[in-house]
Amino acid sequence: MTELGKPLQANSTPIPGLMVWELPVHGDNRGWFKETWQREKMVAAGMPDFGPVQNNISFSESAGTLRGIHAEPWDKFISVATGRIFGAWVDMRSGPTFGRVFTAEIDPSRAVFVPRGVGNAFQTLEPNTIYTYLVNDHYSADARYPSVNPADESLGIDWPIPLEQAELSAKDRAQGTLAEISPVVPRKTLVLGAGGQLGRALRKIYGDAPHVEFADHADVDLTAEDFGAQRRWRDYDTIINAAAYTAVDVAETAQGRVAAWAANATGVAALARVAAAHGITLVHISSDYVFDGAVKRPYREDDALAPLGVYGQTKAAGDQIVATVPRHYILRTSWVIGDGRNFVRTMLSLAERGVDPAVVDDQFGRLTFTSELARAIQHLTTAAAPYGIYNVSGSGPVSSWAGVAQRTFALAGHDPNRVRAVSTAVYFGNATGPVAPRPASSVLDLAKIESTGFVPADGDESLADYVRLEILETSGATS
């Protein structure tokens, strides 16, 4: 008998991501009614916004009919229209819960969300049972997925109707054991701009993870007409866009303006279309240049955009585009330092060569090391933090560029007074080419990302570690 009047409720299970849902069923003298899938209510109650694209129904005439155990390469949300089933789920994903089993009886007042890689099976307990399920990828005859014999003793499934009396397909009876299958690996992560400073930091943090791919412009051309068909995008869970046009002064030229808009807006739009169409999480790197620097407090994520130059305008446009993707993280950062040409390395080189630089003292912010930015990306995506914009930089005291230069000189054992502090107007006063306007303040409020459990590293401590390693590498001590 179907239970009526239950409130909508999600219940976790021993298999991560597998959720049993209690569904409200409303009945009267005519019968009953239920909302099998109600996106707004269910997402608010904890359902992944998994984006179903296909609705399937199977009818089983006899009690004891058994289907599965199959781990298809898509998520599914299953329920019963009429009758009852005994459901069994086996985690076939690589990891510590591989082989874990969960069983439950399902009638029209219950449903189950089954994540990709979890084997799904059911046995009908009543004749004329109708089983229905939503999936977030279209069926493909070419799809390959692991299957396990329902009689595998290692699973310990106590089928209500003995298998010798059950209706099974010949294919299901012939499946092998759990010990014979290859675990399902996670959906892929694609890192774009893998040769840049952030790309190299991401290589370090993800190591040799088999599900992470790295690509440069030569591997992936976002402006290509066939970009959307270059990969089977349903195999990807996340795209990290670490590629961008960052030559802020050259962007003020006619040629640079075209290149900046192509990379930071047109290419981003191509990524956004793919991500939205295939339920992919898009991670995008933004910049303090989307602001004019006039605000006297640290910038929050919801502050109005007011870019001063072409580079900032293209980054602001990219942010607006990415924000239309249902699953997105925009990491807004400032004063980036990593493995490559950067401000700190330039100061170290000048200090060592006896050059006393002039550095601006009326632009303020905090350094962001690419290792910290990569750590924030990994944190947000693995912790399933709420989608949206997050400020990311080092923590600690705010400094000017001149202050950073002086601190770098001191850390390297040189006299910090060799650095001459000047205004931006003086510094660029004799420039022979175009100069992009800079925000006077690039200080970012870090409260939002801290609320997710991420603890930003102290910027000065990170600078000290960076300088120490640079000196060791230059001296050959690390070789």
- Which tens digits make up the pLDDT trace of 22-81? 999 999 889 989 999 999 999 999 998 888 999 999 999 999 999 989 998 899 999 999
Does the pLDDT of residue 228 top 90, yes or no? no
Quick one: how far is CA 211 from the chain centroid? 13
What is the distance between the alpha carbons of residues 22 and 42, in angstroms, rounded to a whole number? 11
Q: Which of 138, 115, 331 is closest to 233 using CA atoms? A: 138
Does 214 or 227 have the greater pLDDT score? Answer: 214
Using an 8 Å Cβ cutoff, are 275 and 325 in contact?
A: yes
Using an 8 Å Cβ cutoff, are 461 and 397 in contact?
A: no
Per residue in 345-355, pLDDT (tens digit) is: 999 999 999 99
Report the pLDDT value the prediction gives residue 49, as an integer from 0 to 100.
Answer: 85
CATH class entry, domain 188-475: alpha beta
Residue 70: active-site member: yes
Report the pLDDT value the prediction gives residue 479, as an integer from 0 to 100.
Answer: 45
Q: What is the pTM of this model?
A: 0.84
Does the pLDDT of residue 430 top 90, yes or no? no
What is the distance between the alpha carbons of residues 119 and 95, in angstroms, rounded to a whole number? 15
Residue 427: active-site member: no
Q: Which of 133, 236, 289, 427 is catalytic?
A: 133
Quick one: how far is CA 12 from the chain centroid? 23
What is the distance between the alpha carbons of residues 58 and 78, in angstroms, rounded to a whole number? 11
Report the pLDDT value the prediction gives residue 477, as an integer from 0 to 100.
Answer: 57
Using an 8 Å Cβ cutoff, are 399 and 462 in contact?
A: no
Using an 8 Å Cβ cutoff, are 405 and 359 in contact?
A: yes
What is the distance between the alpha carbons of residues 42 and 45, in angstroms, rounded to a whole number? 5
What is the distance between the alpha carbons of residues 145 and 30, in angstroms, rounded to a whole number? 42
Residue 384's CB is within 10 A of a number of other CB atoms, namely 10
CATH of domain 9-180: 2.60.120.10
* Residue ranges of domains in the chain: 9-180, 188-475
Per residue in 251-296, pLDDT (tens digit) is: 999 999 999 999 999 999 999 999 998 889 999 999 999 999 999 9
